[in-house]
Structure 1
């Protein structure tokens, strides 16, 4: 059975000691008359007739008994009592001074040892290196045969041996195998130490079932002490020390030493983990910053200039790297390709998928006049070249500034808005087909609309209409239409900025959940 620290105190009672019976001075000038006297005690002098016991006391604490015996009846006088009492006082003070000195010496030794451990771990070690340093220093510092560091793995619900070292003088002792994993249920002592969050020890493992028998046999453990590695109320693992030669009761000094080392190791492990996380965050932040710059370089810096048309755009990424993208593709006969798309995922994977789709669009659109045929071919190549399960909604239109018409196809994207300057009404270009990147064959058809002077085309992603405020309301299509109607006499750039401002005002302090992308095309003459 594991014993907690502080250890159970066992006082060995010597029943013949009269002075210890009530922790007061007692004299028995005829021990045969004393019921508290045991004549068969082998520690008595032969033929004892009289006994005098004086307690050794410091303040209210009893340290022991000064006991004298005589072979004659009535051997002790009041003078003897006076002398023994004075002597007992001196002995008690001497014992207490010795104890205090030893305690101070032990405390200094513990502090010095812990300082050695702290200095050894002051370097920027990784966690396994720190664990190995502690496992190497602890056996000599604590006077034990072996030290083993076991870390708790939450995902696998096991304790893993991170490091194990032995006392240099204990050549017959071997370290516990690094990387060894033990399930919590198979090593009850570890589980109990972590659950109770305090040091526990087993004096004789052969008489207990808290340590797995196979580990006892393999490594010769006889006595074992476990101390939890705790930081901010989180248990990281257990620091184990053990003896192999014989059952052993660990002293309070050993427990304090191991507990101090465990505390330092736990803090060092947590600090190393936090430093590693911070380094990883910084690295990821830098990678995302570079990825954002690369992605932005793929997108048009400025809207194109097209005779008779005013064109503007807005692109706001919800993260460092977006899944939305847009493009303006110069085509033959002064025609302009308009692209707006939204990848199903977010972050770097979506950005890479977006880059692939953009490149394919530019290459394929150059030699095909039909937007539907372009999208079908892009879909085929996406399926051939992508190993992800992502998909993409994509709208592609070809604007002819001579005929003033728009030929387009829609692969599952949000329907564009078309405001008629003649009627002042907005209609949705609803014709669309399946999204790209899922099925090898998608049914897509071209559609065509004419653009009259003053007509306004709004292309957008769901980051506009699905924007959510703190009340969990969506911006929705009606608000988008209201903004377009309210600013229809303004430039394309002013309309785009008005939509962006309206979305931001609506969302308020709620975080931007999705990318926001807009293209505004207005026919001037």
Structure 2
């Protein structure tokens, strides 16, 4: 029994040892396999890194290397790489396999499904078995799909996700964390390589653009044949930038003419009116480039049968010296192709081409321009020293036929104040048919036809009415307006029209400009002389008018007086006056004629003389209302005008400190009481002088106490305006007077003037201004 027991124990012990040894052996084998897989993973990553280093900076080559190395470590039968366009954010399925077979690329507006989730989260997603998957991506799975396991890895660059890699299988548990780690590392390396490739591609594209600009600049400088120049530019742009279609149109009058394009045959847009609403017409009309990255959304796009696959279009004007000579049109067969850099480069090319076009045109017309310049110089020298309009016109009708070759010519000048033109000089017209040429007048609408603006200097043709055909021996005429600063001075009419080639018409236009300049110069000189004489006379009038005003304020016992007179123009309709009356009394007048300038100044002189004569009259001792009523009678009887004058007349008795007054429609003076700072407007009912023959004016009186002051003024004070067109008004006048009332009369006046000046804030004075300040000491 003992031996049997020992044999069983030994057997069990030996069996246990065998089991443990088997486990150890299995673990060793598993560890060896894990080490081998890790070595393969590291070797694959190392090989991929070396392959990227040796590869060109090309996105396609990078993603193909990624696929090839991923296939070494995992099942890539269903494999896809989606890349995001860095400018448009559209998604390209750049490389993908289904069932081990390569598929053509596809394009999408955006990432979707699990790829979108991985892109947003910027982290890999391993799905061991989609049928049992739970978690945040459950709602993104498509029901009924055959895929059981999948691995999604973002391709993250330095700052953003460039794309997503996905591998899928119909078997569960096909992909492991080791696969996830390997593919994520490869994706990171590939993303950095793609970023470098894109930077290199952008730099290379920019270099190509600059090289193209340089080549065009070098080549166009020596090409004077326009057709060769245009075809060279089209070919160079299309080849260097790989554009789908390129065309050049040049402007001929109001029409764009196709000169060169990708297709040798004439395109459907061979002639495009500049008024057309198409993209080409819009650019030619506005002179501004247009970039349309989806022509299906642009109603102005016109499909060209020679370019049916156009999806994007870029059009730049060919500009030279702010003048549009044509357009350069580039088309792409993919939407969202063009960038701002493309627009800048093409506009630079367009400007160079436009400059070459202009130089070619200048080269062919240099002799013609030289002749025109020389001819205009002769005209300018001939008329520049002449001092009268008639001499200028006679010289022009003598010189122009010799320079241009016209057979008949007339110069008509606008008659001031009428709607007609007068013939002032003629050549080639039979004197017997037109015996009184200088007295011949023509209605303006006969020469300035409907549709022609009288202030435009553009030449145009007209058919003459029968009476002028007989008188001028012309059936039709080319009309060249004489316009300066938008004003029609006259016209030049020449014949025959058929013999006038563009160069001659251009020369005639230059002669017309020279004539207009010379006529205006003479007229301006005449106006300057007249204005100088008028200014001299106005200065004399101002001196005379100023002499009519008191040269100093009177010394009135117990009172302080200050006064100011400021005309809006050289002469004024405002005035003030001091009248020394009997018994030591003083008359004070402030008046305002309802006008400005010379008429008001003359009327002011009349009114001032009459009021002064009546006030100083010794026949009777007239009260203020009697003085103004009598002055009104004389003004109404003698004046032959609709003008009138407002006036305020007061009589001051210094001994009693009494102020009696009457107002003929004038601004009420302001009385400021020193004792309690109260104010009163010295109003009086009455019409202005010169309106009605008989007026009835009120008379009032006030006693002035020490410190009281009275401010007499015209509406130039209260109606002064600021930049917002607000009036200074009576409230501001009262506040200004209260602020300054403690000073003497001069200080009060200066304080009020300063307030008005500050309020106006530099606005021009539009009305005459007068003020008298009376203060009891």
TM-score of the superposed pair, with normalisation by structure 2: 0.49
Deviations 1:132-181 (A, max 9, x none): 321233334444443211234585333x134223349x777757722433
Deviations 1:319-353 (A, max 9, x none): 22111100001111111110000110001110111
Once the two structures are TM-superposed, the CA of residue 374 in structure 1 deviates from its matched residue by 1.1
Q: State whether residues 572 and 596 of structure 2, in contact with CA within 8 Å, keep that contact through their aligned partners in structure 1.
A: yes
SS state at 2:563 partner: strand
Change over 3 Å in CA distance of 1:200–1:494 after alignment to 2 = closer
2:578 to 328, 345, 370: 328
Deviations 1:36-70 (A, max 9, x none): xxxxxxxxxxxxxxxxxxxxxxxxxxxxxxxxxxx
Deviations 1:469-504 (A, max 9, x none): 112222211221122222222111111111111111
Q: State whether residues 722 and 763 of structure 2, in contact with CA within 8 Å, keep that contact through their aligned partners in structure 1.
A: yes
- 1:312 is matched with which residue? 562
Q: State whether residues 455 and 487 of structure 2, in contact with CA within 8 Å, keep that contact through their aligned partners in structure 1.
A: no
SS state at 1:333 partner: helix
- 2:427 is matched with which residue? 166
Change over 3 Å in CA distance of 1:190–1:173 after alignment to 2 = farther
- 1:127 is matched with which residue? 389
* 1:174-323 alignment, distance < 5 Å: 174=434, 177-187=437-447, 192=452, 197-201=457-461, 210-222=463-475, 224-231=477-484, 235-242=488-495, 249-250=499-500, 254-323=504-573
Q: State the alpha-carbon separation in 1 of the partners of residues 455 and 669 from structure 2.
A: 61
Residue 684 (structure 2) pairs with residue 422 (structure 1)? no
Q: State whether residues 408 and 494 of structure 2, in contact with CA within 8 Å, keep that contact through their aligned partners in structure 1.
A: yes
* 1:399-414 alignment, distance < 5 Å: 399-414=652-667
Residue 710 (structure 2) pairs with residue 457 (structure 1)? yes
Greater CA deviation, 332-341 or 459-468?
459-468
Once the two structures are TM-superposed, the CA of residue 236 in structure 1 deviates from its matched residue by 3.5
Q: State whether residues 146 and 175 of structure 1, in contact with CA within 8 Å, keep that contact through their aligned partners in structure 2.
A: no
Change over 3 Å in CA distance of 1:200–1:316 after alignment to 2 = closer
SS state at 1:125 partner: coil
Change over 3 Å in CA distance of 1:325–1:171 after alignment to 2 = closer
Q: State whether residues 464 and 474 of structure 2, in contact with CA within 8 Å, keep that contact through their aligned partners in structure 1.
A: no
Change over 3 Å in CA distance of 1:320–1:260 after alignment to 2 = same
CA RMSD of aligned residues (A): 3.1
2:646 to 386, 393, 415: 393
Q: State the alpha-carbon separation in 1 of the partners of residues 724 and 502 from structure 2.
A: 60
Change over 3 Å in CA distance of 1:110–1:171 after alignment to 2 = farther
Change over 3 Å in CA distance of 1:141–1:114 after alignment to 2 = same
Change over 3 Å in CA distance of 1:183–1:314 after alignment to 2 = same
Deviations 1:444-472 (A, max 9, x none): 13222222222211111111122111122
Q: State whether residues 193 and 228 of structure 1, in contact with CA within 8 Å, keep that contact through their aligned partners in structure 2.
A: no
Once the two structures are TM-superposed, the CA of residue 256 in structure 1 deviates from its matched residue by 4.6
Q: State the alpha-carbon separation in 2 of the partners of residues 230 and 401 from structure 1.
A: 68
Once the two structures are TM-superposed, the CA of residue 190 in structure 1 deviates from its matched residue by 9.3
Q: State the alpha-carbon separation in 1 of the partners of residues 433 and 668 from structure 2.
A: 76
Once the two structures are TM-superposed, the CA of residue 234 in structure 1 deviates from its matched residue by 5.2
Change over 3 Å in CA distance of 1:450–1:198 after alignment to 2 = closer
Q: State the alpha-carbon separation in 2 of the partners of residues 470 and 517 from structure 1.
A: 22
Change over 3 Å in CA distance of 1:446–1:272 after alignment to 2 = same
- 2:606 is matched with which residue? 356
Q: State whether residues 323 and 343 of structure 1, in contact with CA within 8 Å, keep that contact through their aligned partners in structure 2.
A: yes
Deviations 1:215-263 (A, max 9, x none): 11223225533223244565543211236xxx96345565454333212
Residue 755 (structure 2) pairs with residue 502 (structure 1)? yes
SS state at 1:471 partner: coil
1:137 to 384, 399, 404: 399
Change over 3 Å in CA distance of 1:472–1:172 after alignment to 2 = closer
Q: State the alpha-carbon separation in 2 of the partners of residues 141 and 379 from structure 1.
A: 70
Q: State the alpha-carbon separation in 2 of the partners of residues 102 and 398 from structure 1.
A: 85
Greater relative contact order, per chain length (Cα 8 Å cut-off, separation 6+): 1
Larger Cα-atom Rg: 2
Count of residues in correspondence between the two structures: 414
Q: State the alpha-carbon separation in 2 of the partners of residues 174 and 186 from structure 1.
A: 18
Q: State the alpha-carbon separation in 2 of the partners of residues 195 and 346 from structure 1.
A: 33
Change over 3 Å in CA distance of 1:213–1:486 after alignment to 2 = same
Change over 3 Å in CA distance of 1:101–1:451 after alignment to 2 = closer
* 1:478-517 alignment, distance < 5 Å: 478-517=731-770
Q: State the alpha-carbon separation in 2 of the partners of residues 248 and 175 from structure 1.
A: 28
- 2:46 is matched with which residue? none
Gaps of 5+ in 1: 1-5, 7-99, 203-209
Question: Which structure carries more helix by proportion?
Answer: 2
Once the two structures are TM-superposed, the CA of residue 269 in structure 1 deviates from its matched residue by 2.0
Q: State the alpha-carbon separation in 1 of the partners of residues 543 and 471 from structure 2.
A: 58
Q: State the alpha-carbon separation in 2 of the partners of residues 248 and 487 from structure 1.
A: 82
TM-score of the superposed pair, with normalisation by structure 1: 0.71
Change over 3 Å in CA distance of 1:250–1:377 after alignment to 2 = same
Residue 343 (structure 2) pairs with residue 343 (structure 1)? no
Greater CA deviation, 317-326 or 175-184?
175-184
Q: State the alpha-carbon separation in 2 of the partners of residues 256 and 328 from structure 1.
A: 70
Once the two structures are TM-superposed, the CA of residue 188 in structure 1 deviates from its matched residue by 6.1
Q: State the alpha-carbon separation in 1 of the partners of residues 471 and 707 from structure 2.
A: 88
Change over 3 Å in CA distance of 1:215–1:402 after alignment to 2 = same
Q: State whether residues 397 and 409 of structure 1, in contact with CA within 8 Å, keep that contact through their aligned partners in structure 2.
A: yes
- 2:67 is matched with which residue? none
* 1:152-163 alignment, distance < 5 Å: 152=414, 156-158=418-420, 160-163=421-424
- 1:86 is matched with which residue? none
Once the two structures are TM-superposed, the CA of residue 316 in structure 1 deviates from its matched residue by 1.8
Q: State the alpha-carbon separation in 2 of the partners of residues 171 and 332 from structure 1.
A: 80
